[in-house]
Amino acid sequence: MTYQELFQQIILKKSYLCVGLDTDIRKIPSHLRNAADPIFEFNKQIIDATADFCVSFKPNIAFYEALGPKGWESLQKTVEYIPKNHFSIADAKRGDIGNTSGLYARTFFDPESSGLDFHSVTVAPYMGSDSVKPFLEFEGKWVILLALTSNPGSFDFQRLGFNGSSLYEEVLKTSQTWAGPDRMMYVVGATQASEFRKIRTIIPDHFLLVPGVGAQGGNLEEVSRFGMNSSCGLLVNASRSIIYAGNGLDFAEKAKKEALALQKEMEIYLDKYCN
Amino acid sequence: MTYQELFQQIILKKSYLCVGLDTDIRKIPSHLRNAADPIFEFNKQIIDATADFCVSFKPNIAFYEALGPKGWESLQKTVEYIPKNHFSIADAKRGDIGNTSGLYARTFFDPESSGLDFHSVTVAPYMGSDSVKPFLEFEGKWVILLALTSNPGSFDFQRLGFNGSSLYEEVLKTSQTWAGPDRMMYVVGATQASEFRKIRTIIPDHFLLVPGVGAQGGNLEEVSRFGMNSSCGLLVNASRSIIYAGNGLDFAEKAKKEALALQKEMEIYLDKYCN
């Protein structure tokens, strides 16, 4: 999926919502637990219920691999089931030396090797350029690089200062030489909304994947006001607040209601700030 | 496995060698390709051939997950097959916000969930304390934190200076408050041998996992001279130089010869520098 195609989907749906599939076998409704593949059955119903109100789905890989081989099978089925017009994100936070990152890229981008065919993968920047570039060798696929995260530990290193600039700003600056806004996005934590202005002076055009709206308590209005650019430039993720909105037979209906509410709010901000 | 138990194995074997199982289906000898599980068959023979000369085995997770669910099955069998006195390392470079890192910890440390029961896992520090601590909640398990790596990209961020100290030094200093040398090790790249002295002033007692001896061209003598402490404090990894030493019917015999040669060299350095 290209930058323009993603923007077109945003305009069409009036939404920049990403639904995070952090599907925990311990948290799904009990009536699904006897299904042949409870994780996939849950995801299928969540995708069906929310697809009209979002432009992206983001399986959190940890939740699948924690279940061993059968978790990877549920993941394969889920990725295949995500509608082709939705931007798919493997939230995997991978990154290693060149030949190993090449294998991680095959994991998420080469269906003949792994059975998975995502549009994009999240990558950690700590090991530098040659740990990121192998992912970019897959034509048309995207890297979503960790920049500033929303967890307390983001203060340990990401915000340390180097000559007046912080580590995450260095990550934004240096990584721009690796790929343009047509192949790279950044993870930027929603609880840092006041910093979006600074970030947008460094990367005016890139899409930002913003976690933390919903269960982690980010403010969607603030994120949209400071983070949006003329191509929207935002994918705002909500996971638990949508997928665990209900826990009974009507869990998908409740998830739909949550996704619709976020889409309605996003429609207002697109009108107001996307210009 | 405890710090003391690991040191005892090192003394017993006169070796601090870690054999890296970077097992690539495209590189294993052709006569194994028709086995029921070629990856496991290769690993089994490598483990049998080298176990007497090493104290640790380190499957590189990328190589297994790139093959999808069947790769994870090969990994399960491999981890089960590693002898119990060998320190097992999941080289996975994981790291995410707390609840997600908790799931990654289950992947590598909770056999009832994933089928895997490693002694340790490599973790990336970028997201800070709460991305690392969930791994430490598994009693007796180890975190091996990325500090300074041996790839060209290590110059992009790890060596950036903060008030006279570099990012990787900050990682060493800050992470010491998360766990002691009995639960944490560090990845330190072997091509930076002259920096071992500086590193040893910050973390005199921790074990260091040193990749890059062998195929990546590190110097074992230098690493041992500058990196060793009174409990050895080193695990030196070799992957490709051992496991791909041969490519015919005698590949395991050739791997054994390489491992033995490294063990013999290590025996000399243990005598000379471990005090």
B152-208 tens-digit pLDDT: 999 999 999 877 789 999 999 999 999 999 999 999 986 667 788 889 999 999 999
Q: Do B145 and B123 form a contact (C-beta atoms < 8 A)? A: yes
Q: Does the CB of B176 have a partner CB in chain A at under 8 Å?
A: no
In this structure, what CATH number is given to the domain that contains residue B198? 3.20.20.70
Q: Kindly list the residues from chain B whose CB atom is less than 8 angstroms away from the CB atom of residue A66.
A: 103-104, 106-107, 110, 113-114
Q: Does the CB of A79 have a partner CB in chain B at under 8 Å?
A: no
Q: Could A160 and B167 be called an inter-chain contact, meaning their C-beta atoms sit closer than 8 Å?
A: yes
Higher-confidence residue of B67 and B196: namely: B67
Check if the interface score ipTM surpasses 0.90. Answer: yes
Q: Which of A44, A93, A133, A257 is catalytic?
A: A93
- Which of A64, A65, A89, A163 is most worth mutating to test chain B (most B CB atoms within 10 A of its CB)? A65
pLDDT on residue A246: 97
Is residue A67 predicted with pLDDT exceeding 60? yes
- Positive or negative torsion for Cα B258, B260, B261, B266: positive
pLDDT on residue A161: 85
Q: Could A154 and B94 be called an inter-chain contact, meaning their C-beta atoms sit closer than 8 Å?
A: no
pLDDT on residue A35: 96
Q: Report which of B67, B13, B143 is spatially closest to residue A104, judged by C-alpha positions.
A: B67
Q: Which two tokens stand for residue B82?
A: 């590693």
What b/e sequence results for A194-232 when a residue is b if at least 16 CB atoms lie within 10 Å of its CB, and e otherwise? ebbebbbebbeebbbbbbbbbbbebebebbbebbbbebb
Q: Kindly report the backbone phi and psi dihedral angles of residue A13, in degrees, each rounded to the nearest multiple of 5, phi listed first.
A: -90, -15
Q: Could B97 and A150 be called an inter-chain contact, meaning their C-beta atoms sit closer than 8 Å?
A: yes
Q: Does the CB of B259 have a partner CB in chain A at under 8 Å?
A: no
Q: Do A104 and A96 form a contact (C-beta atoms < 8 A)? A: yes
Kindly state whether residue B64 falls inside one of the protein's structural domains: yes
Burial of B180 (0-12, 13-18, 19+ CB in 10 A): exposed
3-state DSSP assignment of residue A208? strand
Kindly state whether residue B177 falls inside one of the protein's structural domains: yes
| Cα distance between residue A28 and residue B97, in whole Å | 21
Is residue A204 predicted with pLDDT exceeding 60? yes
Q: Kindly list the residues from chain B whose CB atom is less than 8 angstroms away from the CB atom of residue A100.
A: 22, 60, 62-63
Q: Does the CB of A93 have a partner CB in chain B at under 8 Å?
A: yes
Q: Which two tokens stand for residue B15?
A: 């070796």
Least CB–CB distance from A69: residue in B60, B72, B100: B72
Contacts of A35 (CB under 8 A, 6+ apart): A41
Q: Does the CB of B258 have a partner CB in chain A at under 8 Å?
A: no
Least CB–CB distance from B128: residue in A67, A129, A151: A151
| A72-86, A168-182, B68-82, B199-213: least confidently modelled range | B199-213
Is residue A194 predicted with pLDDT exceeding 80? no
Which residue of chain A is at minimal alpha-carbon distance from B169?
A: A157
E-strand ranges in chain B read 17-21, 56-59, 87-94, 120-123, 142-148, 161-162, 165-166, 184-188, 208-210, 234-238
Neighbours of A83 (CB within 10 A): 11
Please give, rounded to a whole number of angstroms, the shortest distance from the CA of A11 to a CA of chain B: 31
Domain count, chain B: 1
Q: Kindly list the residues from chain B whose CB atom is less than 8 angstroms away from the CB atom of residue A113.
A: 66-68
Once rounded to an integer, what is the mean pLDDT over residues A241-266? 97
E-strand ranges in chain A read 17-21, 56-59, 87-94, 120-123, 142-148, 161-162, 165-166, 184-188, 208-210, 234-238
Once rounded to an integer, what is the mean pLDDT over residues A5-34? 97
Kindly state whether residue B275 falls inside one of the protein's structural domains: no
Q: Does the CB of A218 have a partner CB in chain B at under 8 Å?
A: no
Q: Does the CB of A101 have a partner CB in chain B at under 8 Å?
A: yes
Least CB–CB distance from B97: residue in A24, A94, A149: A149
Kindly state whether residue B142 falls inside one of the protein's structural domains: yes
pLDDT on residue B212: 67
Q: Could B146 and A132 be called an inter-chain contact, meaning their C-beta atoms sit closer than 8 Å?
A: no
Please give, rounded to a whole number of angstroms, the shortest distance from the CA of B211 to a CA of chain A: 11
Domain that holds residue A185: 3-273
3-state DSSP assignment of residue B19? strand
A151 to A1, A159, B168, B169: CA distances (angstroms): 29, 12, 20, 22
- The angle that helices B69-81 and A69-81 make with each other, rounded to 10 degrees, is 170
Q: Which two tokens stand for residue A105?
A: 């890229």
Q: Per residue in A88-113, pLDDT tens?
A: 999 999 999 999 999 999 999 999 99
Least CB–CB distance from B96: residue in A62, A67, A125: A62
Neighbours of A272 (CB within 10 A): 12
How many residues are listed for chain A in this entry? Answer: 275
Once rounded to an integer, what is the mean pLDDT over residues A37-52? 98
For all residues of chain A together, what is the average pLDDT? 94
pLDDT on residue A191: 63
Residues 122-151 of B with CB under 8 A from A: 124-132, 146, 149-151
Q: Kindly list the residues from chain B whose CB atom is less than 8 angstroms away from the CB atom of residue A103.
A: 24, 60, 62-63, 65-66
Kindly state whether residue B119 falls inside one of the protein's structural domains: yes
Q: Which of B14, B44, B77, B93 is catalytic?
A: B93
Chains A and B: how many Cβ contacts under 8 Å?
Answer: 191
| A41-50, A127-136, A181-190: least confidently modelled range | A181-190
Neighbours of A122 (CB within 10 A): 26
Q: Kindly list the residues from chain B whose CB atom is less than 8 angstroms away from the CB atom of residue A162.
A: 160-162
| Cα distance between residue B219 and residue B232, in whole Å | 17
Known active-site residue B44 = no
Q: Could B68 and A65 be called an inter-chain contact, meaning their C-beta atoms sit closer than 8 Å?
A: no
Is residue A128 predicted with pLDDT exceeding 70? yes
